[in-house]
Homo-oligomer: A and B are copies of this chain.
Amino acid sequence: MGRRKDKLTSNIAWSNADTITVRGLDLPSEILGHMNLGDLAFLQLTGRKATAEESKVFNAIVITLVEHGITPSAIAARMTYMGAPESLQAAVAAGLCGLGTVFVGSMEGASKMLYEALPADKVGTGVDLDALAVETVDAFRARRAIVPGLGHPVHKPIDPRTPRLFEIAAENGKSGEYIALMQKIHAVAEEKSGKMLPINATGAVGAICCEFGFPWKIVRGFGVMARAIGLVGHILEESENPISYDIWQRLEEEILETSGPQK
């Protein structure tokens, strides 16, 4: 903030009477019918077309983030829809607002941790990943912080999404030192803590994002776009099989009982 520009620019899209161009491609003739939604997301964010291999891996990581059942974010969206059914978009927005440090942050945190341990320009230079893994885990343990991307309350001893994502990455040339480092960090963390700490889906996605070279700041954005799709599904179900009203009524009764008159 602070310096003024003469002219403002934006290089995503432009259109005139007979042309619509997105990231330099003609939308009707070069995009529609030639790409799937994940590919367009890749184009929108990177400014270039995904290769067939990148398309496979990128679609898989975004898909992983779409649907997680009845999450706090889905509950918020459904509650909002009950009050404002005419504003489906506001219900999705409400659901997205909670995708912060607690639920999506671990993905971003995993990417950041990996980049900090192994900056992009050190990849392929023969860095000792075993040593890096020990260093990284020790640093988190020293400040009593949770290693991002590890551990899951339900999916133990392994999160079933992780081996599959790493398999897809490997089959498509996207399995390199970041995934290797994540796996070593996982092994060290389990050994040092004596606990089951599987690489969870956000850890797997975070590591794969590093293989792509995506800036860690945008990794959260993949979760946000994916959950927007998931939330539209929840709102559609809520419109057909509402559960919000009952959640609300049960809670109101419980609070009245525990916290109401003369309790």
Contact = CB atoms under 8 A, between A and B. Distances in A.
A193 interface: no
Contact of A22 (B11, B27, B33, B67): B67
A13 interface: yes
B62 A17 contact: no
Nearest to A155: B17
A75 B79 contact: yes
A221 B231 CA distance: 9
A132 interface: no
For A11, A89, A96, A156, the residue with the greatest tally of chain B CB atoms inside 10 Å of its CB is: A89
A259 interface: yes
Interface string A233-247: 111110101111111
A213 B245 CA distance: 28
Contacts of A160: 18-20, 27-28
A151 B48 CA distance: 32
A176 interface: no
A56 to B, nearest CB: 7
A37 B244 CA distance: 28
Interface of A: 1-2, 4-5, 7-22, 27-29, 31-33, 35-41, 44-45, 55-56, 59-60, 62-64, 66-73, 75-77, 79-104, 154-156, 158, 160-161, 163-165, 167-168, 171, 215, 217-218, 220-222, 224-226, 228-230, 232-237, 239, 241-249, 251-252, 254-261
Closest 5 CB pairs of A and B: A84-B100, A83-B98, A228-B228, A37-B38, A36-B36
11 contacts: A8-B255, A13-B69, A18-B158, A27-B64, A80-B97, A80-B98, A84-B89, A84-B100, A90-B93, A90-B100, A94-B95
